[in-house]
Structure 1
Amino acid sequence: MENHKNTDDLHHSFIAKLSKRYGTYDVARNKFESTSNSTIARDLFYSDSQFSRLINNTASEGEFKRAVRNIDRLLELDHIKKSNPNQTNTISMVRPKRKVYFIVILFLVSIIAWLSYSIYNSVEKTKVVTNSSRYDMLKWGFDNNYIQPYTKLKELPADCYYPCYKYQGNWTLKNEYKIPFYREQNGFHYVAKEAIMYARCMDERDDLGESFEGYEYQKHEIWYDKREYPIDSFLTKGSNTKIRNSYNTSDLNKDENFVKIAFVHTFFRTEFEIDSSLIQRTGKALGRDIEFVDDKVLEKQLDNERQIQTIKDEIKAISLNRLEDYSKPISCDPSLAPNVDFNLITEGDEMSFNCHFNIGRFTVDYNKIYIFNDQYIQNDCR
């Protein structure tokens, strides 16, 4: 009861502070008079769904406290601008590391732009690409001797409260997972095989180190089921969303009914928010390309060249339609933090997210687990 009262008070304070900046709040419509909720969410660095929880008073106490701090900073910045029209020097004093942040952000955006452009070009031309490593540029961005975008121990606050510092480093996909696809015909399956993610503190947000972001290279596969079984054949009986465990753990390489058609290379950006014992995950794909298996290999498993071309045409259509769904913001339930005491987080720890993917009329549940492979800061802040 006490916790519920606390969130009610925080929600009231949150709305009151937002009203100072965005005008009168319409309780019936859950909106402000001068600005859309989406715009306010962006101002606070929240997704629409996160802001919706706050505005509808369904967020946790930790989320409300963080949100109140964020709006306080915006109000403070507004005050500085009004009291000092020539605010350049004043703002630089409030945010002394802005130039450093800008350099880091520019550097990371350059990586995104380069990877996204090359991947987009490959998809548009639908050409067969070489087997050179797709994540070399990403790896270079984090594993080099000159620029490392991580927050370092010497940059942490005096009280050492900066939870994200222990999450920085290299995470990988623990287990593969499978998702059956549906277009005009059945028979296509998406298999998540590999993911390599570099995580860094989002220190440019000034949110007490409760946010970090991941830049992720994913290598997945598309398979064709010669029997063309419908999607519900792979779902648990009586469920419209849960995939059968026997299907998810099966080895398609050992099933003569399945033929590997293509590899899918994806560049993905994820944001994580730490809320006490929970971690929220949002993100979306920024670029993707398709690499088809050689025709000579396919000819040994499929009937004829015409069938191969028909399947390839379907894969191209999937890449422009169904795989487009993977470019939309992901929908995932929060994960339990590896340890409530963030100072104890270490290599081998895991973050497990139950996520939901819409495929036409179906919503399929899948579980994505990151395992901590290489931690950037292993020492404790003291």
Structure 2
Amino acid sequence: MKENIDLFTNLLEKKYGVWNRNKALFGTTPYGKVASDLSISSSQFSKLLYGTATEGMYERTLNNINRLIERQSIEKAYEETQLVINKSKTAYRKRIYFFSILFLGIGLITSYLFDFNHFAFKLSDYEKHPLKSYFYPESSMFFDSPFIYNNAISENCPCSGFEGKWKLSESFKLPLPGMKKPGLYYQAKSADMIIRCSNLFDSYIDKGHGMMGYEHLKSEIWIDTKQEPLVPQYFNPSSKVFTESFKQLNFESDPRFKKIADLAAFNVNMFKIHGDSITRNAELTGRLAIDVNKKLAKKYNIDIGYIVKNVLGDLIKASCKTTFNPFCNPNDLSEGISKISFDCVYTINEENLGLNEGYPYTKSYLFKDQVFSDYLPCECEDN
């Protein structure tokens, strides 16, 4: 328990500053504000601080602090970049302004020449991973790879074996709250994820055990035009599981279901390898609804903006269990065969909007393209 308390307070000091016990502050931040940032109550914060919290509470809260630290680092890097740009010479600024105006004009002309529907189709036809060129460029002549170099493979065991392209193994669907009638559904169709080892977590995760996954996710929103109730036909509220009828639903082939919108999203995943187990945490970078059927949305009184921001916005906060790692020895990984699955529960903050403690779903990733597929000098480690 003392180890949990020390890790908890050390991470808080890293985020906020030195712990002042007498004034109940971390740096200049009072306990109440810290608890609010972590989305927990003051009583829960006290339990974590003084060692009366459960292991699960520590695990969830430590993950939240790590995400805050990661976000702070990204924001700091962005601010420093903006500072450099703002200090550029006036001549360069004028040149930038000139070309900005020029390209804006070209954009307006292009928009005039090509109708909106054509433009929307191009957005929905977005197939490439947004960061593909940074990991898999057409030419490597002037390229610094973000993947582990060959001479550092062994010191980055076991994560060096996981580097490469992963994809969503199976599509999954979920009911969506957010309107007063049933029948709205989310369907994850495909995902392309690039995983690389990361040293961002070396302060609290052993080297070679932390990974970042950059995920481009494509999904859809569907409406059941008959708006049949979810319970009891599709969901058992007692056992908290979906029925076989729900699993057999096929939105594309059943004429009573109509697609309202396509969705494109980008997630940043953090994976931690603990021998024969893996934990996953994720944060949404952005989500865009495209090809929205406005007539259908209006007919069924569906606010797509609200759904994207407030309902789907919380999907990334889903609680996922630590999963078994069948590739404790990364040499067991194989392209097109190896799969990692995470059992999760989807909830909506404290309101929950009728979710009855949440809906279960499984998100599985299949290894598509391994960066280093030769023998790795890695061995299976105990937890």
Q: TM-score, normalised by structure 1?
A: 0.64
Distance 1:311 1:293, change over 3 A: same
Distance 1:364 1:11, change over 3 A: closer
The correspondence for 1:354, drawn from 343, 357, 361, is 343
Distance 1:313 1:137, change over 3 A: same
Q: Which position in structure 1 is the counterpart of 2:321?
A: 333
Please report how far the alpha carbon of residue 33 of structure 1 lies from its aligned counterpart in structure 2 after TM superposition: 6.5
**Structure 1: where are the runs of 5+ without partners?**
1-7, 71-101, 107-124, 296-304
Counterparts of 1:28-47 in structure 2, within 5 Å, are none
Please report how far the alpha carbon of residue 172 of structure 1 lies from its aligned counterpart in structure 2 after TM superposition: 0.7
Counterparts of 1:1-382 in structure 2, within 5 Å, are 10-11=3-4, 22-23=18-19, 59=55, 128=120, 130=122, 131-133=124-126, 135-144=128-137, 145=140, 146-157=143-154, 160=155, 162-182=157-177, 183-206=179-202, 207=205, 208-233=207-232, 235-239=234-238, 241-292=240-291, 309-311=298-300, 313-326=302-315, 328-347=316-335, 348-359=337-348, 360-362=353-355, 363-382=358-377
Distance 1:14 1:290, change over 3 A: closer
Please report how far the alpha carbon of residue 253 of structure 1 lies from its aligned counterpart in structure 2 after TM superposition: 1.8
Please report how far the alpha carbon of residue 23 of structure 1 lies from its aligned counterpart in structure 2 after TM superposition: 4.4
Deviation string, structure 1 residues 21-53 (Cα, Å, up to 9, x no partner): 944779xxxx88767789999xxxx999xx998
Please report how far the alpha carbon of residue 248 of structure 1 lies from its aligned counterpart in structure 2 after TM superposition: 2.5
Please report how far the alpha carbon of residue 354 of structure 1 lies from its aligned counterpart in structure 2 after TM superposition: 0.8
Q: d(CA) in 2 for partners of 1:47 and 1:324?
A: 15
Distance 1:57 1:321, change over 3 A: closer
Q: d(CA) in 2 for partners of 1:218 and 1:178?
A: 14
Please report how far the alpha carbon of residue 56 of structure 1 lies from its aligned counterpart in structure 2 after TM superposition: 5.6
Q: TM-score, normalised by structure 2?
A: 0.64
- Partner SS, residue 247 of structure 1: helix
Q: d(CA) in 1 for partners of 2:133 and 2:286?
A: 18
Q: Which amino acid aligns with 2:319?
A: S
Q: Which amino acid aligns with 2:208?
A: G
Aligned alpha-carbon RMSD (Å): 4.1
Q: Which amino acid aligns with 1:168?
A: E
* Alpha-carbon contact 2:297-2:304 (below 8 Å) kept: no
* Alpha-carbon contact 2:342-2:363 (below 8 Å) kept: yes
Distance 1:185 1:17, change over 3 A: closer
Distance 1:233 1:364, change over 3 A: same
Q: Which amino acid aligns with 1:334?
A: T
Please report how far the alpha carbon of residue 212 of structure 1 lies from its aligned counterpart in structure 2 after TM superposition: 0.2
* Alpha-carbon contact 1:280-1:333 (below 8 Å) kept: yes
Please report how far the alpha carbon of residue 10 of structure 1 lies from its aligned counterpart in structure 2 after TM superposition: 4.6
Q: Which position in structure 1 is the counterpart of 2:74?
A: none
* Alpha-carbon contact 2:129-2:216 (below 8 Å) kept: no
Deviation string, structure 1 residues 134-192 (Cα, Å, up to 9, x no partner): 534322222113232111231235xx452111111111111111111122222211111
Provide the aligned length of Structure 1 versus Structure 2: 296
* Alpha-carbon contact 2:234-2:245 (below 8 Å) kept: no
- Partner SS, residue 321 of structure 1: helix
Distance 1:15 1:374, change over 3 A: closer
